[in-house]
Structure 1
C-alpha cells in the first residue's frame, strides 16, 4: 500500500505524528488521518510532507511497483 511507505519513512526518521504535523503546519489528528488513509491531502501538503523527510512527493506517494510495471508494458 502506498501510505505504508509514508508510515515507514516517518518511523525510520524517528519522528512522531506530532513532529511531522508541526513541520507541515497541520494538526496531529489531520496528519494521522492522512497517514492512515482516512483523509486526502492537497498537492501542497504532499510537497511539505516530502520536504520534512528530504524527499519528493513521487517517492513517498506514488506506487513505484505500479509505475515500474507500466513503464515496462508501455
Structure 2
C-alpha cells in the first residue's frame, strides 16, 4: 500500500510531511492527503516525491501494487 511505503521512507529519512511538501511544492495538508490515501497524485508529482527520497517512482509507487508474478518474479 502506497501510504505505508511513503510514510516508512519519510520516517527513515527523518523528514516531516511539511519538509516533503516544501520540497515538492505543495501544502503540508496536500502531501498528508497523498500519504494517507485521501488524494491521488499525478505522475509528475510522483516523480518529484521520488526525487526527494532519492528513489524512482516505481520503487515507491509500483512495487507494492503488483504481485510477484505480475512483476515477473
- Output the TM-score relative to the length of structure 1: 0.88
Q: CA deviation at 1:3?
A: 2.2
Question: For each residue in 1:14-68, what CA deviation from the matched residue of structure 2 results, as whole angstroms up to 9, or x when unmatched?
Answer: 0000000000000000000000000001110000000000111000011347252
Alignment of 1:1-74 (within 5 A): 1-64=1-64, 66-70=66-70, 71-72=72-73
- Output the TM-score relative to the length of structure 2: 0.89
Structure with larger Rg: 1
Say what the alpha-carbon RMSD is for the aligned residues: 1.4
Asked if 1 retains the 8 angstrom alpha-carbon contact of 2:17 and 2:28, the reply is: yes
Return the structure number with greater helix share: 1
